[in-house]
Each structure stands twice: as C-alpha cells, then as structure tokens.
Amino acid sequence: MANILVFAETRGAELRKVATEAVSVGRRLADASGGGEVHAMVAGPPGVAQKTDLLGRFGADVVIAVEHPALATFARESIAATIAARAKGVTYRAIVLGFSAQGRDLGPRLAAKLDAPIVSDIIDVEVAGDAFIVKHPAYANKVIVTLAVSGSPMILSVRPSAFDAVVAPRTARVDMMAPAIDPAASRVKVTQVIEGAKGRPDLADAPVIVAGGRGLKAPENFKLVEDLADAFGNAAVGATRAVTDEGWRPHADQIGQTGRQVSPQLYVAVGISGAIQHLAGMRTSKTIVAINKDKEAPIFKVADYGIVGDVLEVVPVLTQAVREAKQGH
Amino acid sequence: MKIAVCIKRTPDSETRFRINSAGSAIDESGVKFDMDDFASYAVEVALQMKEKAGSGEVVVIAVGPDSVQETLRKAMSMGADRAVQLKADAIPFDGLAVAKALAAELKSGGFDLALFGKHAFDTSEAVVGTATAELLDIACVTAASKLEIANGKGSARRELEGAAEMVEFSLPAVVTIDEGIARPRYPSLKGIMAAKKKPLESKPAQLGASRVTVKGMALPPDRPAGRIVGEGTAAVAELVRLLQTEAKVL
Ligand SMILES: Cc1cc2nc3c(=O)[nH]c(=O)nc-3n(C[C@H](O)[C@H](O)[C@H](O)COP(=O)(O)OP(=O)(O)OC[C@H]3O[C@@H](n4cnc5c(N)ncnc54)[C@H](O)[C@@H]3O)c2cc1C
C-alpha cells in the first residue's frame, strides 16, 4: 500500500487539463502499488476547495485544499514549501505533477527540499517492486530513455497529453491546509500576468494546431493561419523559429527543439520546411498535414497528408472547406 | 557583478542518433559535441550583462570528464573570463545529484547571479538549475525569455502556457534561460587566442548519490510514410475527406 500525492494545478480558479491527467496517473500508481490513496493538492484563492468533485471524478480520495487570496497568482516558493510540508507529515511513495511551466518550477524545488529523486516529463510509468520504471523522451524527443527510479518519495512530472484522464469516481474528502509560508512574501514576486490570445486554447491543450513558417512570406499573411485555426474552432496557432526570429510572431508560439513541444490530434504545417529542430517539437502529433510548394520539403516525410502548392492559394480554400465540414456536423 | 554560467557539453542537435547494440546508450562514434543551445544563450546573456555594466566577471562551470574542457574553452573564447571543471567520469541522469555538485561549487563563489539553460539537450529534464537554487536557498526564476538586472534587483519575463508573467526578484539568484532571449555570438579569432591563456581550474565534482539509473534507450517508432494528396487547391476536397473519414479529426 502506498499513497500518492498529486499537485493538481490551476490557472485562476480553473483546474488545468494536465491536473486531471496527473490525478489519473496517481490513481494508477496507487492501485498498482497495492491500493493506496490519492491525495490531490489544489492551491488557489478562496473557493478553490470546490474543485473536489472534478478531482474525485478522476480518482482522488482526498483533496488537500490550500486557500489564500495571494494564491491567485502562482506563488512558487509558498506552494513548493506547502507540498514539501505535507510530504514530510504523510508518507507518500510518489509526488506527481504536470510537466508544465508550474511543474517545471515546483518539481526540482521539491526534489531539493525532500532530497527526493526526480524524473521530469515522463510519458509512461510502471511500478516494479521497490522501483518505478519510467519512460522519458530525451535528446529533443529523438531518443526514448527508460529509467529506474528508487527512493521515497520520488517526484514524477507527466508530459501534458501523454496520459489520458481516466474517470474513476471517488467521493473525495476535503482536507484544508494553510500555506506553509506566506504566499505574499517571496523572493520572486509576480508583478503582472499577461494573458495570451483570448478564446484560443494553449498549444499544450489544443486538439488541433495550425502552425505557420516562412513560406507565408509576410507577417500579415499569418491571418490565413489564424482563419484556418478559427475554422477548426478548437485550434491553437504555432510558428517556426524562422518566423519568431523575424518577429512575425511572439517567441512563445515557437514549436520545436528550443520552443514548445506539442502532441495534438492534428498538426497543420503551413509553409514550413520541416527542419530537424522543428520536427523535434511536433513529430509526436497524431496526424500531420503539410502544405508546401516544394514537393521535396522534408516536412512531407513526416506528414500523413501533403498538398504541394502555394499556401497563399491553398489555405483560404482549405479554410472554407473546413468551415463547411464543421457546419455539416 | 559576478555571474556564473553552468553549461553542459552535449551531442550536436542535428545528430541522427543510433543506439548501441546493448540498447543502453547512444552510439557516440562520429557524434560532435558542444555546449547545447540553452547553455549558449545563457553564456551570451552573461556576456551582454557584463558588457553593459562595463565591469564584472563571467565564470563558466561544467560537470564532466576532461572533454568538457574543450566546451569551457569555447565559452572563454566567446568572452567568459575563467572556467571551472567539476571533474566526473560520467554525468548521472539524476539531476539532483548534479545540482549538489554545482551548489557545492557556487556556495563559496560569491556570485550575484548563476545562469543555466532551461534544460540540457541530452537529458531534457529541466531540473539542475532550479534544484541548485533550492539547495543554495536563493531566489530562482525558471525559463526567462527576458532578463534585466538593475540596482541590485532582477526582473524577468516567463512564458506560461497561453500567457506570460513578469516577475521581480532579489539577488543572488539562479535564472534558467529560455528561447528568444539572445542569439549566441561566434568566437572571434582574437577570442580563441585569448581563451588559451585564460584560467581553467579542475577539481573533483561532489556529486550526490544517483537514484535514477538508465535501463535502456531506444529510438521512437518511425512515422509511417505519408502521402501527397495532390497539388494546389484541387487537392483540398480530398484532404478534407481524408481528415473526416480516415484520420477522423474533423
Ligand atoms: C540551435 C537551433 C535551434 C533551433 N530551434 C528551432 C525550433 O525550436 N523550432 C523551429 O521551428 N526551428 C528551429 N530552428 C531553426 C530551424 O533549423 C529552421 O531554420 C526553421 O525551422 C525553418 O523555418 P521555416 O520552415 O519556417 O522556414 P524555411 O526553412 O525558410 O522554410 C520555408 C518553407 O516554405 C516553403 N514555401 C515558401 N514559399 C511558399 C509558398 N508560397 N507556399 C508554400 N510553401 C512555401 C518553402 O518551400 C520552404 O520549405 C533551430 C535552429 C538552430 C540552429
């Protein structure tokens, strides 16, 4: 029997998708190590304890609710200290979090605070006696490394979208917990949160990504990419480094080895050559579509479906066709 | 300002990897090694800060076998003032073990700022910088896409998923460096000559115990060969049909 602690991250008062995925991983690990409990910590402004139902739905037995007005923004030092304090009081076999901006910040802090081994960005995990066997993509996703981790607790961060959120209903009890250190007093203060494009999902969450490259020729032509994303309705917009370097799009939109790594259901590459550094960020997409006027472009080697043609002509027609297909549903 | 930059020597990112016959590691024959992308951005950021301030020191630190000296020399040829090798035959996959070695070195250094890449190309774990900060019990900002130090305080921008946050922090601090912050310079001939004379200290790495061990490595499955649906706008109808009926994503 082993209990698992999950950090279920929020943005504002909303649970993030990776939070439910992490809880599902926690449920699976607790069951596989003899049926322990899953304790899901949720931290945020007052009212966040109401996330109990959703966390219970994916298998949390206990919701540890940490409420404080200053937790409306991400108070990294306070949250790390609070998770560590909990893990010092209750024995956990593993602490599971998302490999997100928050998880990247918290995971290593916890490892150092608890002297715990950590593996980030895992895409698979199994319990094998005293050890956990995990898979982790390395070398810009070009190699899958299998690692054995021993020691309790161990810290595992899960790659967004790599694990399904599986419904496994529980009626979670709520355990209120005060922040271990004042969230308002920190050596790193968030002075401003700049919201991204409204109404569009993030690259990590979007089932469809439309990404544009230098083949679009000019920044104003990115409108074509945005229109296609709008036609899908649930799409995020990405870009290559050639485009972000030109300043056509913000760096945050860059997909690839030094940019974001994404695994959507559908990836549409518009005027993208398919350089190895770009492929490193998107080759795990389920279905890839490429539109490029050069039939020798390397992107066609990874694309499930390709159209050889000028994006300035093809994309508007595709946008119209997608719009019609969506309306036909 | 005294700035430490912790860099890692890793395979060239263009490498087409092969796995050794035991399935336990990458085959390193013919593979080029250098500091990785984020490490090179971190070196560049440190050099620009020193240039802007008109004074200060940039110290580059790497854990690893003697081959890392080549990488440290490269950083000095870009402009770093001196280098420290924390000698270890092999670098464990356990980020906390590595962080312990770096924290031990940084502790006595009197640094205002320690820069790291946001993650290393090979292990791709994003652990070492942040864990080092925590071991040192100093401020830490991860994945900064903009960074400024003024009047003994730092400010940075961090990209979140679908948003960004601006932060202010106290020094000393650890900052890990993300894409978009700077493009690394190439060493000049003068820089390469000067680097030969710059001090490079070597001492044993005080690595922590490693509790993460590599069981195996494999290449991800190849994507099945794709197909060209057609040319120009005439191919759109067929593409949409395939997305609906075959890929079922529409
Ligand atoms: C250290 C390092 C890290 C890097 N990291 C990344 C990364 O994270 N992400 C990334 O994307 N790149 C990265 N790169 C850059 C990468 O090597 C490529 O330069 C970049 O991906 C190319 O972008 P692109 O495909 O938009 O542009 P190009 O390579 O210029 O390709 C444009 C494509 O558009 C096609 N085209 C042109 N006009 C039209 C038209 N009218 N209609 C249709 N097609 C057209 C062309 O045939 C061509 O294939 C990195 C490079 C380095 C050195």
Residues B29-41: pLDDT tens digits? 999 999 999 999 9
Closest Cα partner for B58 from B48, B68, B67, B66?
Answer: B48
Distance of CA A215 from the midpoint of ligand 1 (Å)? 8
For chain B, positions 180-239, list CB contacts with chain A under 8 A.
180, 211-220, 223-233, 235-237, 239
Quote the mean pLDDT of chain B. 96
For chain A, positions 194-213, list CB contacts with chain B under 8 A.
194-197, 200-205, 207-208
Q: Are B97 and A151 in contact (CB under 8 A)?
A: no
Distances (CA, A) of A53 to A19, A50, A180, B169: 13, 7, 25, 37
SS3 A282: helix
Provide the shortest C-alpha distance from residue B151 to chain A (in Å): 16
Gap between the Cα atoms of A320 and A200, Å rounded: 19
Q: What are the tokens at A311?
A: 């994006």
Residues in chain B within 8 Å Cβ distance of A304: 223-224, 226-227, 247
Q: Is B214 in contact with A147 (Cβ distance < 8 A)?
A: yes
Task: Tell me if chain B has a CB within 8 Å of the CB of A124.
Answer: no
- Give the relative orientation of helices B189-197 and B68-78 as an angle to the nearest 10 degrees: 120
Q: Are A138 and A183 in contact (CB under 8 A)?
A: no
Residues in chain B within 8 Å Cβ distance of A149: 211-212
- Closest ligand 1 atom, residue A240 Cα: 11
SS3 A237: strand
Query: Which residue of B17, B168, B244 is in closest CB contact with A189?
Result: B168
Q: Is A190 in contact with B165 (Cβ distance < 8 A)?
A: yes
The pLDDT value given to residue B162: 83
User: To which residue do tokens 């993300």 refer?
Assistant: B178
For chain B, positions 42-71, list CB contacts with chain A under 8 A.
none
Q: Are A143 and B19 in contact (CB under 8 A)?
A: yes
Per-residue pLDDT 10s for chain A (329 aa) are: 799 999 999 987 789 999 999 999 999 999 999 899 999 999 999 999 888 899 999 999 999 999 999 998 889 999 999 999 999 999 999 999 999 999 999 999 999 999 999 999 999 999 999 899 999 999 999 999 999 999 999 999 999 989 999 999 999 999 999 999 999 999 999 999 998 777 788 898 899 999 999 999 999 999 999 999 999 998 999 999 999 999 999 999 999 999 999 999 999 999 999 999 999 999 999 999 999 999 999 999 999 999 999 999 999 999 999 999 998 85
Paired strand residues for B116: B6, B176
Distance of CA A280 from the midpoint of ligand 1 (Å)? 13
Q: What are the tokens at B72?
A: 């440290």
Could you tell me which residues come within 8 angstroms of residue B249 by beta carbon, excluding any fewer than 6 positions away? A207, A208, A265, A266, A286, A287, B243
Q: Is the pLDDT of residue B158 over 70?
A: yes
The pLDDT tens digits for B177-231 are: 999 899 999 999 999 999 999 999 999 999 989 999 999 999 999 888 889 999 9
Q: Is B124 in contact with A119 (Cβ distance < 8 A)?
A: no
Distances (CA, A) of B209 to B39, B86, B108: 25, 16, 22
Closest Cα partner for A310 from A326, A294, A328?
Answer: A294
What is the Cβ-side half-sphere exposure of residue B97, based on CA atoms within 13 angstroms?
Answer: 18
Gap between the Cα atoms of A159 and A244, Å rounded: 24
SS3 A305: strand
For chain A, positions 15-54, list CB contacts with chain B under 8 A.
16
Distance of CA A201 from the midpoint of ligand 1 (Å)? 24
Closest Cα partner for A246 from A218, A277, A284, A271?
Answer: A218
Closest Cα partner for B53 from B112, B6, B107?
Answer: B112
Task: Tell me if chain A has a CB within 8 Å of the CB of B104.
Answer: no
Does the ipTM surpass 0.85?
Answer: yes
Pick among B13, B31, B124 to test the A interface (most A CBs inside 10 A): B124
Residues in chain B within 8 Å Cβ distance of A284: 220
Gap between the Cα atoms of A75 and B205, Å rounded: 33
Distance of CA A316 from the midpoint of ligand 1 (Å)? 21
User: To which residue do tokens 């080697």 refer?
Assistant: A301
Torsion sign, CA atoms B171, B173, B178, B181: positive
The pLDDT tens digits for B163-180 are: 899 999 999 999 999 998
User: To which residue do tokens 């490193």 refer?
Assistant: A280
Q: What are the tokens at A56?
A: 């219970």
Q: Is A194 in contact with B11 (Cβ distance < 8 A)?
A: no
Query: Which residue of B17, B158, B231 is in closest CB contact with A309?
Result: B231
Gap between the Cα atoms of B172 and A230, Å rounded: 45
Q: What are the tokens at A202?
A: 């993030």
Q: What are the tokens at B122?
A: 């090979």
Residue A259 backbone phi and psi in degrees, to 5: -110, -145
- Ligand 1 lined by A157 (C-beta under 6 Å): no
Could you tell me which residues come within 8 angstroms of residue A327 by beta carbon, excluding any fewer than 6 positions away? none
- What is residue A233's DSSP assignment? S
Three-class secondary structure assignment of chain B: CEEEEECCEEECCCCCCCECCCCCCECCCCCCEEECHHHHHHHHHHHHHHHHHCCCEEEEEEEECCCHHHHHHHHHHHCCCEEEEEECCCCCCCHHHHHHHHHHHHHCCCCCEEEEECCCCCCCCCCHHHHHHHHHCCEEEEEEEEEEEECCEEEEEEEECCEEEEEEEECCEEEEECCCCCCCCCCCHHHHHHHHHCCEEEEECCCCCCCEEEEEEECCCCCCCCEEEEEHHHHHHHHHHHHHHCCCCC
pTM of the model: 0.94
CA dihedral B29, B34, B39, B44 (to 10 degrees): -160
Provide the shortest C-alpha distance from residue A328 to chain B (in Å): 11
